[in-house]
Structure 1
Amino acid sequence: MLRVTLEQWRMFRSVVQYGGFNQASQSIHKSQSSIHNAVGKIESSLNVKLFEIEGRKTILTEAGELMLKRANFLLDEAAKLEIVGQTLGQGTESSLRIAVDEMFPQLLLYKVLDSVSAQYPMLQIELIESVLSGASELINNADVDIAISPVALIDGFSEQLCDIEFIAVANPEHALHALNRELSAEDLKSHRQVVVRDSALQNKSDAGWLGANQRWTVSHLRTSIDMICNGLGFAWLPISSIKNELEKGQLKPLPLQYNGKRSMQLHLIFKDKDSLGPAAKTFLGELRYQCPN
């Protein structure tokens, strides 16, 4: 028999999270005596000292820090277990939250979503479009169930999905094309580059060539494409996203001396397969089937 309950571990963690017994009491709506009793029960049952009081501060002991790491793991696993149980009990989920990096081919995504909806007509799909680290952050914060991201998960499931090819382009009338020769990095530095910012709120990253002295940063890939089509600069853009503009002559690849094409790998990521319902698993299957590796 376990001598400490999950609720007692939760109260112990709340003292650490909120910085003291009084703060924990107000935040989790439990009496201070209940929290003190829970922590005291852990200490007496395991013969370990979890906290020390220094002035007005409640400080974790060395043993308390070790126990906190174990308690976090235990409580996180318990939460996952409840989610799996709810999924099994409910059968088919009513909603599916998906984060997709904007560089992923849209027509392919639409085809997959349409196929999933045909099989689950009552399924509510929430699609969040992201850039760079944004999709991975949404997964880590449990804001979505599945994500397609250039950033693989450290803690969770990550599967290489596809490579996206990029080329440097500008409007055919742009000054870079008027040079009528192969372009060097120095040539590019003299002209405005349009880049798309990372949609993550924390731990943002940069990607692509950022050597231009002039740079405009936008929030969406489509904004970048429109700006380049209107002659406002050059950009590295996914070939799959600008096929129409290339065919219509609105965009023209820049004749670079080196590295005329670049690629970025996208990953299929999620936290726990057992917590995914039938519709989510169908989405994974359709995506793997439709996506060219």
Structure 2
Amino acid sequence: MHKSTLEQWSLLNEVVLRGSFASAAESTHRSQSSVSYNLAMLQERLEVTLLETKGRRTVLTPAGEKLLAQVRPLLKAFYALESTASAMRNGERSRIELMVDSILPREHLFSVLSEFQRLYPGTQVNVTEVLETQIPDNSQADVMVLSQRQPGTGRGEWMMNVDFVAVAHHQHALHHLNGAVSAEQLAEYPLIRIADHQHFSVLQEHHQGEIWACSTIEAAIEAVMHQVGYGWLPETRIQSALAAGTLKMLPLQQGVRRVTALHLLINNEIIVIDAQLQTLLDLMRNKAWI
């Protein structure tokens, strides 16, 4: 038989966060005597002193700090379990499948997910990233943010543009040419592209010169940073390198900037857009303008 309960540890956590038994009792809608009794029983059964008084605050002892640190992940998991059960009871979704193009700015994505989690803690959002050149299997996705509208990807709308800029390492030979760089001069150096291997041959057919394909944006950025070649990279992902002067925009005769549109889509098979889906869609739209 266990000597302690999650309820007792939860009360201990509240006392520490609030700084007193009275504040913890108020936040948990209990009497102060109930809180005191439960924590007294917890310490008695463990035979360890967990709390002590310093000034006007009730704080953890060193032993209490060590034990509560181990319990807090369990409390968090238990709260999440109860939130999921509450969501299921209220008819809310327990999960949303979100598919996004890898060029979607991370700050946009994580800002949306953080706000959604705050609003619907019982609903899990599973994120799958795909490359622009891929034709994704979107049959299992509820919401999609894609650069290409493939047949059957769902109904949707334009959401935002992602800016790409032509760059190379500041010591790359392309930055030491006289005047604006021409297409013929670019063809003498490897182009770093973000693409899957299935589309590599297609890329080569439409480009004069050598192409090195990377399967992730991070790998493409690293390749350009190490002077493997030049490339058009998402501006938001390389802002710090541009500001530091490590990467420099190429002085091209034309085409230094390119834009890729991202579309916000919802699966065609979803007939009724519930509250969680609508909230996720609204957050995706609204955050695009911040």
Unaligned stretches of 5+ residues in structure 2: 1-87
> Where does structure 1 lack aligned partners over 5 or more consecutive residues?
1-87
C-alpha change, 1:116 and 1:196, in structure 2 (3 Å) is same
Q: 1:176 is paired with a residue of what secondary structure?
A: helix
Measure, in 2, the Cα distance between the counterparts of 1:283 and 1:290: 11
Alignment partners' CA distance in 1, 2:282 and 2:222: 34
Alignment of 1:244-263 (within 5 A): 244-263=240-259
Distance 2:211 2:192 in 1: 6
**Residues 78-108 of structure 1 deviation map (CA, whole Å, 9 limit, x = unaligned):** xxxxxxxxxx997211111111111111101
The normalised TM-score by structure 2 is: 0.63
Q: 1:183 to 1:128 in 2, by over 3 A?
A: same
Residues of 1 paired with 2:111 and 2:126: CA distance?
Answer: 16
Is 2:265 aligned against 1:269? yes
Task: Please give the alpha-carbon distance, in whole angstroms, between the structure 2 residues aligned to 1:275 and 1:115.
Answer: 23
Which of 193, 196, 217 is equivalent to 1:195?
193
* Counterpart position of 2:282: 285
Change (3 A) 1:120 1:208: farther
SS at match of 2:149: coil
Question: Which amino acid is the alignment partner of residue 138 of structure 1?
Answer: D
**What value does the CA root-mean-square deviation take over the aligned residues?**
2.9
TM-score when normalising by structure 1: 0.62
Distance in 2 separating the partners of 1:98 and 1:205: 29
Q: Does structure 2 retain, via aligned residues, the 8 Å contact 1:182–1:256?
A: yes
Cα deviations across residues 13-59 of structure 1 (Å, max 9, x unaligned)?
A: xxxxxxxxxxxxxxxxxxxxxxxxxxxxxxxxxxxxxxxxxxxxxxx
4+ residue segments displaced more than 4 Å: 203-210
Q: Which amino acid aligns with 2:259?
A: S
Partners of 2:204 and 2:211 within 8 A in 1: no
